[in-house]
A and B are shown apart, each in its own frame.
Chain A
Amino acid sequence: MIFSSIVFIYYFLPLLLLIYFLVPSSWKNFILLVFSLLFYFLGEPKYIIVLILSCIINYFLSKLIEKRKHKKLYLTIACIYNIGQLLIFKYTDFFISNINNLFHSNIPFMYIVMPIGISFFTFQALGYVIDVYKGKHKSAPNLLVFMTYVCLFPQLIAGPIVRYSDINKELVSRTHTFDKTYEGIKRFIIGLSKKVLLANVLGEFSKSLVTDTLLASWLKPISFTLQIYFDFSGYSDMAIGLGLILGFRFLENFNYPLIAKSITDFWRRWHISLSSWFRDYVYIPLGGNRVKKIKWLRNILIVWFLTGFWHGASWNFIIWGLYFGILLIIEKLFLGKYLEKTKVLKYIYTLLIVVISFLIFNANSVSEIFMSLKNMFMLNNIPLTDKVTNYYFRSYLVLLIISIISATPLIKVLTTKIKSSKYKIILDILEPITYLGLLTLSTAFLIDASFNPFLYFRF
């Protein structure tokens, strides 16, 4: 089940909230856990056992670690279990394919279906165990609290990767206020609108650009970059909004990454929970930047190799990660200080790098990456534009403009200014109307997606 679906918004969520707010506080975690497991079960019935097993094993390992005897051994077991689980479910066929290619062998594929959200809940559980080992926080008081933390449905299948230390107090005792709930509703609707009104439609646009023209070769990665930003940040917004409605305050996962001044800055703004996870659990334990230069560069490349590989079992994701790693090294070694001195160039540079990165991310093969790049930089003999490109460009132009504006903090800055001015009253009236309008519009887009005319009647 996904948040941007009718069954979630109009059936699952109201039922959960009705029961959740009716039961006494002591029952709330139990209800949350039951609904979280139901949420997962409905999306992935066969693999719910993987999720539950992961919770139980990590919970008991953390308890054993806390007893201090053989704690390193238990940590090692936890690492092997979690990483092993991820490797088996996510990467088995990737390894088989590469072994077959390398050694001309014929090992049959396993065709293992990846459990939804395994990359997120594995990292969450592993981070938790490491933190208990390091004494950053105590282990969860009981299995119910721990399972509620790992299985908490708003962040279970697509993040953000919430740290136990960020919500441990709320897991035990949390407050529910109308202010917080309204804030959550607004945030959820923003996320839903980003996903349904922008990301999905940008996806249609990107897919429509099928002809090889210079204009299309640029519009395709630009629209895909916007699409993936609104898709992913929209999901995070919905997760944060649902968290607020349920009394949790998750940390932000995106902070207008497309206005970043450098790639270093971009990764401080994009998927913050993942980059900080790799920083805290891989980069710093490897020595971070407090080692010899060559080791420091190695550490950066390891982290970005893993970041790429985490995104998917395919070479283009590894190339994508290493591409950022190399660029970050270049920025840290010398480019960064030059970029800082520029006013506009740093933004253009960052956007260009990011757009190309998502071209790599979205590619089906390495050869497709090179072909697209050649088209973009006029190394192929292609026309400037054609009728098809013009048609779709014209048709999606307003959406593109809205998307670009929405990817900047412009609306946020404007509303903040109005809120502190004498026109605040206008905003107070317009705000709920706008959100209700966005919810209605998103519902309309979801419903229309199911429109399926019987095509025989055309002829």
Chain B
Amino acid sequence: MTAQVGAVRAELGRHRPRFGEPAFRGLVVLASLTVLAIIAGLVVVIATTSMAGIAHNGIGFLWGTTWDPVHSVFGALPFIYGTLLTSITALILSMLIGVGVALFLVELAPSWLAGPLGFMIEMLAAIPSVVYGLWGIFVLAPWLRDYVEVPLHDTLGWLPFFSGYPIGIGNLAAVVVLTIMVLPTVAAVSRDVVSAVPGSQREAALALGATRWETIRMGVLPYARSGILGAGILGLARGVGETMAVTMVIGNSPTISLSFLAQGYTMASVIANEFTEATTNLYRSSLIEIGLLLLVVTLVINAAARLLVWRVAYTASSRSLAA
């Protein structure tokens, strides 16, 4: 018996070089370390290439309002502002819609509808950013101008939010495009979070005679709250980092305006637009400094969101990867 086992071992051993296990182990560890190295490398490479800018611009870079490459005055505030304005507004809109969709899919929709609808919203994430930009320029912006901005301007033009001349291209178009692009992230993660709410929560509420909405409001939402918050933060990270579609419709103007009809600029889009054209090292370095800022902000937002979502529904993150 032991002899037989030994024979089998020996037989197997012939096919097994001793270094097989440590070598393979080393390989997979190396691959994992590569992921770590990439993240570290991202920060290091971008930080070192932005050193000239950091040295020249100082801390005032963060609140400088003037972006004047000719005179080497670089202030990032217009881009930070534009990024925050568009992504936070888009986040609010996509949270309203996205959480609604998630609740509809999980709590209300019959499965013949929930499947295809959920699928469609996932597909929304698959469409390349540049295609949204193309659609934004030629379809969305003119439509917004004629049917949204002009009426808004005519009726509410006295509000600072709707002042200026409506031309379609601008903050509003960027917000709408961003909302569409952030929506799948928020909806997918929220759906997973809502799905993860134990059935007993609902049953208990229903048992108390709650209506369906009351069940959602009192049984489901409180339970899913931190996960939905995580979904929102993930959506924010996506909105902040989104580049192409926004670049194509926001109007590329480094000005700070409250108006949704005005043109703006975001951190990602100024890099996309001006990087290959930067005439001096300092100019390029300052653009990379914006990239560094963007990177740090998204790393922090993402890390926070992942931690929040993980607590609720681990698998959720896989879906948002595709987003």
Partners in one complex: no
Residues of A near any B CB (own CB < 8 A): none
